[in-house]
Amino acid sequence: MTDTANLDTLESDVLEQIGATTDEAGLDAVRVAAIGKKGSVSLLMRGLGKMTPKERQVMGPALNGLKTRLGDAITARKEALESAALDAALVSERVDVSLPVRPTPTGSLHPITQVMEELAVIFADMGFAVAEGTDVEDDFHNFTALNFPEGHPARDTQDTFFMKPDADGNRKVLRTHTSPVQIRTMMSEEPPIRIIAPGRVYRCDWDQTHTPMFHQVEGLVIDKETHMGHLKGTLLDFLAAFFETDKVEARFRPHHFPFTEPSAEMDVRYERVGQAVKVGSGTEWMEILGCGMVHPNVIRNCGLDPDVYQGFAFGMGVDRLAMLKYGAPDLRDFFNSDKRWLAHYGFSPLLQANMATGLS
């Protein structure tokens, strides 16, 4: 074929085929048939060698031009097909954002975790740091340094769980209270000291208001001019913040603890309304914590001079506070790991975050 008019026909034929393609595979078939290695245009180009120089002068540029134009048309069609495919996908794969999400099971915070966090936040506002001890304690930290005399019945009144004796005959204990953290802190830190120590404690006990493992928060302040007014003010501020009202009424009753002198127990006024307990009104008093001025012997046992340093301490049952504030009637339910109970009494971790950042 040496006639450029035929080339025009070929060109319009192929362009028509290109325009009629509806997908990439069809377009590629047209490309191969026209400008592929064995395509019609390529075969014509191969024929150039057999032409006279004059013919070649005409047909060479004509075929090259044709090949370029067809290539361009194929590229343009390819892009058009691709963008049409994308548009179609966007329409058919549209995400319906108005569809309600499927419910996913969410966990909740145990009331004790919640109350522990609340206590840490409230006392942090008053300048208290959090200190920790160990659940397995030695006799020295749990009793002796806290001024429990050797062989004193007080060691038994706490219903202590004893471990098997060590090689040297000493018996470690599961700590019966968080007070040993006072000793650990005073022995490792320089006053002024202002700590709370939240944690698990253990006593051999089991009824509606006692479980063998429960939780306490200990508080300790040691400084040079600390007195009972500070103790009282701190605890009253704490009560108002914890129960979220200024109306909580508290009373201090003289008591005895070996590690404080004078010692007191603090009660809050409450009444029972059905199953629930209401704090701040009524005629009943509930004991919620023990407290007092740290005994000079305890200060001395920790290597500090009681003529220079004095302070106050307190210890409270977290579980009882949780029962009081959130109204669960039986302490044993706290530790039954019943998911339905947790779903009812548990707390959203998101509310928790709000509380910790002070936005609730």
Residue number, 309 or 314, with CB nearest to ligand DAH? 314
Residue 315 is a binding residue for ligand DAH (CB under 6 A)? yes
**How many helices and strands, by DSSP H and E, does the chain display?**
13, 11
Q: Pick the stretch among 32-40, 53-61, 284-292, 321-329 that binds ligand DAH (CB under 6 A).
A: 284-292
Q: Pick the stretch among 50-58, 189-197, 308-316, 352-360 that binds ligand DAH (CB under 6 A).
A: 308-316
**Is residue 235 within 8 Å of residue 251, measured between CB atoms?**
no
- What span, in angstroms and rounded, lies between the C-alpha atoms of 160 and 10? 103
Shortest reach from residue 257's CB to ligand DAH, in Å = 5
Sheet of 136-137, strands arranged across: 136-137, 171-174, 162-165
Task: Let me know if 344 is exposed, middle or buried by CB neighbors in 10 A (0-12, 13-18, 19+).
Answer: exposed
Residue 143 is a binding residue for ligand DAH (CB under 6 A)? no
The binder of ligand DAH chosen from 11, 137, 218, 319 (CB under 6 A): 218
Shortest reach from residue 190's CB to ligand DAH, in Å = 20
230-259 mask for ligand DAH (x: CB under 6 A)? Answer: ---------------------------x--
Residue number, 108 or 234, with CB nearest to ligand DAH? 234
Contacts of 54 (CB under 8 A, 6+ apart): none
**Is residue 268 within 8 Å of residue 285, measured between CB atoms?**
yes
Q: In this structure, what DSSP letter does residue 145 have? A: G
- By CB under 6 A, the count of residues binding ligand DAH is 11
- At 272, which helix (H) or strand (E)? strand 260-273
Residue 311 is a binding residue for ligand DAH (CB under 6 A)? no
Residue nearest to ligand DAH (CB): 315
**Is residue 218 within 8 Å of residue 313, measured between CB atoms?**
yes
- Binding stretches for ligand DAH (CB under 6 A): 177, 179, 218, 257, 260, 290-292, 313-315
